[in-house]
Chains A and B, each alone.
Chain A
Amino acid sequence: MSVFTEAIVVFGAAIIASVVSAKFKDVLDKKEVGDVLKNLSKQGSIASDISKARIIAVQAILDAAIPGSKIYKRFVIYLNGSLIYSISKIAEQALKSSPEEKKSKTVVGLMLGEKLKKASKAQFFLIAAFVINSLMSASGLLSVAFESKGSSLVLIIVAIAFLAIHIDHMLLEYRIKHGLYGNNEFEAREIIEFIISHARKDDFNDSGGLKKVIPTPVLDLNLNKENSTDRGGVSV
């Protein structure tokens, strides 16, 4: 192994170790994530009605996004603690919102659930790619055929992909916690694209074309509407 390859392997392993430790820290430090785990195994008591509702809402989103065994759900929570925390924050904000805002925040919660589903599948495929590549390289029988030519490359790609998912979740958590999420073009499109991609097919067509969501003349974005969202949380 050349010095360059060794450096790549050490760098990749360091990234993976730091991401994994950050994920465990999320689970240990964040009460919201711990509560969801407790609820999954029905252990411990939950303090207030608000906490209970928040946990049940997170659980409903989690069940919708990740059907299957509790073990797999637990695995997903450990790998995506930051996103679980964001979903929990959205549920908490929805509780304090007006009925209209409650609806749209619920949709953001479902969107985060879908993000959780995609992230957990991505993590599964990345782990599979790493394991398959390691087996190919390590197996004495296969190494003749496979020549172990790209193990370090796969390790670094997998590590960077894991890091990218983790950073995105952390940024999302920060923006939701500080009420910044949804206040720019990129995130507005993210939410609207989710709504449109899950719109009923028969509902979103209008005489052969896309239905006009905002009738022309557009831009009737009344600023004097009473239900101001200027009190933190997502601006939906």
Chain B
Amino acid sequence: MNADQITELARKSINILFISNPRGTSIGILIGVVLDGLNGFISPALNTAWTSASSIELWHFIGLGIVSMNLPSYLRRKEIDSSIINAISFIEEQKAKGNIADWQVKQMYSNLHQKVLESVSLENDKQEKANKINLLLTEVEISEKSNK
């Protein structure tokens, strides 16, 4: 395994565990802590009606908080168009078979990203920001060239 594969695998593992929705997971942890505190207050009263209320541990609440904060974003996720999935599968298949070199993989992914960008208009505020930054970078490029 080279550095590319090791760092790719490490990123995948961390993202599956936590980073794909760090905000939701962190709020879930916070909710778990708060619920555990509330349980400490109300469990004596609940114990009379529900005998096992005090046996709920902190990690139960944290687990509940994490699941409840991640479930809505999981259910609301947008599916990627099948043509993009096919294109990615094609690149990965060719890479696995050894039919294409690393630079070709890079070029194919680059072309795929550009095709997606060409086909989709970004939300107004994101588009404005992107245009502003592009303009700035282009102006500097022109001034650098004219200075040479």
Interface residues of A (CB under 8 A from B): 49-50, 52-53, 56-57, 60-61, 64, 91, 94-95, 99-104, 106-107, 109-110, 118-119, 121-126, 128-129, 132-133, 136, 142, 145-147, 149-150, 153-154, 157-158, 161, 164-165, 167-168, 171-172, 174-175, 178, 180, 182-189, 191-193, 195-200, 203-204, 210-216, 218-219, 221-223, 225, 228-230, 235-236
Contacts and interface: CB of A to CB of B under 8 A. Distances in A.
A222 B111 contact: yes
B71 interface: no
Nearest to B66: A157
Interface string B102-133: 11111111111111110111111110011011
Given A110-B126, A221-B112, A168 B120 contact: no
A149 B57 contact: yes
B78 A218 contact: no
Closest 6 CB pairs of A and B: A150-B58, A122-B22, A53-B140, A125-B26, A214-B83, A122-B26
A1 to B, nearest CB: 16
A123 B18 CA distance: 13
B140 A121 contact: no
Contact of B113 (A102, A168, A188, A211): A188
Interface centre among A110, A136, A199, A222 (most CB of B within 10 A): A199
Given A57-B133, A183-B105, A199-B123, A104 B114 contact: yes
